[in-house]
Amino acid sequence: MSAPRQMRQIVTSALLAGLCLGSASAQAAVPIYADSFVSALNTTSFNSGIVVGAPDGGGQFLGDKFDPPTLQGSLVVKFSNGLIDGVGNDLFVVDVFNTATEVVNLSVSADNINYTFVGQINSVANQLDIAGAFTGAFYYVKVSNASTSFSMDVDAVGGYTAAPVPEPGTVALLVTGLAVMGLARHRRTKRGA
Ligand SMILES: [Ca+2]
Ligand SMILES: [Ca+2]
């Protein structure tokens, strides 16, 4: 087998592997955690105070620390790569001191201006299937306290289905692969001439 041809086959295999990885990570039911904190209203920090990333045992009370809350709190987090309504559950909220009495409303938005209510969960039944309540990619999720008796302590906010855009890694691999293939072909053509 000629060297350019061998190289081309290696590149093609790498390319296919990259594409498979890219599509697999877009569909797998692994949690995607919010990556940026956008805003909060009437929240009270506990432990780390962090509500983005994987659960770390700290976050924000929606309202204040003691029940019943004297204020109703809410917070907004962002998923930079976007989420969509996929098969089954789409969103979840992790809290630390969980009881089913801590109820929250979830709303989503593509622009952080117009929010659509997509459902209600509590600290125990903490998974939500958007089930058609919102269509298309959304980037912002608002968690609002829905109980005047109990405030939820939000540790992390997550989703499952990434918006269907090629991941930058896949695009980079595709561009690199095509460039190398083009180069190999170019060399072969020159050698043949
Ligand atoms: Ca769904
Ligand atoms: Ca946390």
Do 125 and 91 have their domain in common? yes
| 38 alpha carbon – ligand 1 mean position (Å) | 24
Helix (H, G, I), strand (E, B) or coil at 110: coil
Q: Over 70: is that where the pLDDT of 9 sits?
A: no
Q: Are residues 143 and 71 part of one domain? A: yes
pLDDT, average across residues 81-89: 97
Residue 168 CA, ligand 1 centroid: distance in Å: 25
Same domain, 53 and 134: yes
pLDDT tens digit sequence for 12-28: 554 444 444 444 444 44
Measured in angstroms, how far is the CA atom of residue 88 from the centroid of ligand 1?
4
Say if residue 127 is in the same domain as residue 104: yes
- In this structure, the answer to whether residues 104 and 19 fall within a common structural domain is no
The β-bridge partners of 97 are: none
- Average pLDDT on 1-22 reads 54
Task: Label residue 11 by pLDDT band (50, 70, 90).
Answer: low
The two structure tokens encoding residue 157: 């906010």
What is the model's pLDDT at position 189? 63
Angle, helices 168-192/3-27, rounded to nearest 10 degrees: 160
For 99-130, what is each residue's pLDDT tens digit?
A: 778 899 999 999 999 999 999 999 999 999 99
- CA–centroid distance, 94 to ligand 2, in Å, is 8
Tally of structural domains, the chain: 2
Report the separation in Å between the CA atom of 190 and the middle of ligand 1, taken as the mean of its atom positions: 54
Structural domain for 186, as ranges: 3-26+167-192
Strand order in the sheet with 103-109: 36-41, 74-83, 138-145, 103-109, 116-122
- 90 C-alpha vs ligand 1 centroid, how far in Å? 5
Compute the average pLDDT of residues 75-103: 93
110: CATH: 2.60.120.260
Residue-wise over 93-108: b if at least 16 C-beta within 10 A, else e? bbbbebeeebbbbbbb
184 and 125 fall within a common domain: no
Convert the pLDDT of each residue in 59-77 to its tens digit. 999 988 878 888 889 999 9
Q: Give the closest ligand to the alpha carbon of residue 93.
A: 2
Mean predicted lDDT score pLDDT of the chain? 85
- 179, 97 in Cβ contact below 8 A? no
Hey, which bits of the chain come out as E strands?
32-33, 36-41, 43-46, 59-62, 74-83, 91-95, 103-109, 116-122, 127-128, 138-145, 153-159
Share of the chain above pLDDT 70, in %: 79
Distance 76 CA to ligand 1 centre (A): 20
pLDDT in tens, 141-167: 999 999 888 889 999 999 999 999 765
Q: Which ligand is nearest to the CA of 91?
A: 1
110 Cα: distance to centroid of ligand 2 (angstroms): 23
Distance (angstroms) between ligand 1 centre and the Cα of 44 equals 31
The reply to whether 21 and 60 lie within a common domain is: no
pLDDT the model gives residue 177: 74
Model pLDDT, residue 23: 47
Query: Do 38 and 130 share a domain, yes or no?
Result: yes
Q: In the prediction, which pLDDT does 25 show?
A: 46
CA–centroid distance, residue 121 to ligand 1 (Å): 14
Ligand nearest to the CA of 108: 1
16 and 68 co-located in one domain: no
Residues 109 and 15 in one domain: no
The reply to whether 36 and 50 lie within a common domain is yes
133, 58: one domain: yes
